[in-house]
Amino acid sequence: MANRRDSRIEPSFEGPPRAKSQTGLSVSEEDRVVPSNRKASAKRKSSKGKSSRGRGGGSGRGLFGVLGRLVYWCFVLAIWGGIAVAGVVIYYGAKMPAATTWSIPDRAPNIKIVSADGQLLANRGMSGGEAVGLHEMSPYIPEAVIAIEDRRFYSHFGVDPIGLSRAMVTNLIGGHFSQGGSTLTQQLAKNLFLKPDRTLERKVQEVLLALWLEHKHTKDQILEMYLNRVYFGSGAYGVEAASRRYFGKSARDVTLSEAALLAGLLKAPSRLSPARDPKAAEERSQLVLAAMREEGKISEKELKTALSAPATRSPSYWTGSENYVADTIMEELPDLIGDVRGDIVIDSTVDLNLQKLAEQSIRRLIDDSGKKLNVTQGALVSIDDSGAVRAMVGGYDYSTSQFDRASEARRQPGSAFKPFVYMAALEAGRTPDSIRNDAPIKIGNWTPDNYGGKYFGKVTLATALAKSLNSVAAQLTMEVGPNAVVEAAHRMGIQSDLLANTSIALGTSEVTPLELTSAYVPFANGGYKPDIHFIRRVTTSDGKVLYDSAGGSAPRVIKPEIVGMMNSMMTGTVEVGTAKKAAFAWPSAGKTGTSQNSRDAWFVGYTANLTTGVWFGNDDGTAMKKVTGGALPAQAWHEFMVAAHEGVPVRPLPGTWKSTPADTIVPDDIPSADNNQPAPVPSASVGQQAPAAQAAAPPAPVRAARPAQTVDADGFNMPADGGTTASVGHPVPPGSVGGRLKKRQTSILDILGGG
């Protein structure tokens, strides 16, 4: 009864209709009283049945649920990642200047130096080459660069998500950084605006700048800027500089294999440079060719042809002697136009054909005789009558030594300095027919012996100069005074300091080949001293003239009659004297020179067309083996001048002179400059202002004289000295006259001995 009271029965009015009992009331099965333990068992059975039905029929719905949740969370993460990236971009972008202030920086100016006939001599400046238009350069170059660096260049918007994703996957699989995701636009942005730091900030700025470039410029403009600014190794910026540097040609003429090599350098310009590792450069170029074939830029036939004929590096870029000229021009340029602010073109005075002739002559003689005669260096300078330098070779090989021996090396000229002694004597009243006694003399402790100890007695000045007789040159120096000789040399074009003592007659003061050659030019052009110059004109890339050497006149520095006498005397040097090997079809004149122990050998000669000076020697001042000015220098001069005058109408040397015995001055009539008599000076009509008599010579260091004496092949008797290239102040004998002479033949010896 207790259980029944606990189980309350409620009537149901919604059940299915049943047969009514007599009482009119009914109950369903659920209204029945069931013990509580039986109810729990029934619920467990019901739950178990439902569970088994879920496992069997709902497996598909569970898998899709997992994928759905994965997609959901990826979407959520993408949103948050985008927010984070946007935050980083905003943060680092805020540090950049306003986009309205951005502008493309100017390209480093290029200085293009061309020859007198328009051929390229050299490029100078930071870039090393001029800018070339995209459609001017070889089409292989942009095709090769795009194929290996940025295949989707013309389809992306400055940033390539596909390429970036591919690079990330490749780097993850490889386990190291092997591919970059930067587009050409990004690389240009980095090169133009940013430092090479690998930081997140720089990468963000690179992307922003790339987007700006794509907005402001066309694809072709971006590619052109990139190709004209990117670094190709070996100091070459831009395709023109690289093409000149590696192949000796313009980017306009580059072949397929050469373009592939250039494009391959972009990955690692310094490491892959053909100047450093030709094998690595070639292997990389093969990858570029394969990429071009894969992209359909070249045919299978073109690929095979390029692989069978790989690019070869030109060896001439750094070996050409025209680089000596270019270096000299670059030194002079600031004085003419100031700072270079844009691309300029320099029209030089140099004839490239003559330059090559000069270089070949110097190199051939050193190659043939250098080892046998101990000769390692040479220099040549050729100047026309207007002072324009037509050729200048500063050494055997520019690639091994950029020191310019033509314009920088000061060496003893030896007898090549004697024309200034004879010129001073002629201006003092002597003539080529004046007689001197060629005999041993003593000046202090110095005896200027002739070569081989041979003397000729009474000779004319013309004969003395042709045979390079030292005693006569010393006598003339004492007659007119050393200061008069120094003044004459400086007036003609010598710029170096000269020691005003008797030994100056024998060329003991040092000069450069350029200044010695320039000092002979007035003999060739009739007595005028022009400005020696390498530059004719300087213009901007659009043709604006910044400098022009045209105009102006050269001052007269020698009277016409003196020019005639000097040319008559120096013609004998070539015809019958020490420079017979130099003679050729044109009327020519000049003077040989050899310093002590054959340390320096010279010949400076001229026609009415060109004045050319040649020097041979060694940088360390070591002696050559019996090389004289009449040997290698005269041979080189002959080779060069014959080729330079081919097809040029013959012209006589300026000035005339006829031998007149009545004008001859015999020794007894000669005043001595050492008997307290002022040295003669040229009249004021020769130059703008006549120099003062006995003017003090420019100061120069003087070393103590050494007692050892040597006689060179031109007849020079000089103090022994171990001078080296570009040194100044070799020891010289004293300029005072004294001591007792061994022999008395003429009264001039009394004058010299009685000081």
Indicate which residues carry an active-site annotation.
149, 415
Cβ atoms of residues 442 and 423 within 8 Å: no
Distance CA 366, CA 308 (A): 38
Handedness of CA 125, 129, 133, 139 (dihedral sign): negative
Distance CA 701, CA 665 (A): 37
According to DSSP, the residues that pair with 500 across neighbouring strands are none
341: left (phi over 0), alpha (psi -120 to 50) or beta: alpha
Q: Other C-beta atoms within 10 Å of 742: how many?
A: 11
Cβ atoms of residues 625 and 374 within 8 Å: yes
Instruction: For helices 36-57 and 59-94, give the axis angle rounded to 10 degrees.
Output: 70
Helix and strand counts by DSSP (H, E) for the chain = 23, 14
Distance CA 89, CA 97 (A): 14
**Cβ contacts of 127 within 8 Å, gap of 6 or more:** 107, 108, 109, 110, 229, 236, 237, 238, 241
**Residue among 469, 479, 481, 480 nearest 506 (CA):** 469
**Phi and psi torsions of 388, nearest 5°:** -80, 125
Cβ atoms of residues 396 and 366 within 8 Å: yes
Distance CA 558, CA 423 (A): 9
Pairing mode of beta strands 110-114, 344-348: parallel
User: What is the arrangement of strands in the sheet containing 610-617, beginning at the earlier edge strand?
Assistant: 389-393, 377-384, 610-617, 600-606, 589-594
Distance CA 653, CA 240 (A): 46
- Grouping H, G, I as helix, E, B as strand and the rest as coil, residue 603 is strand
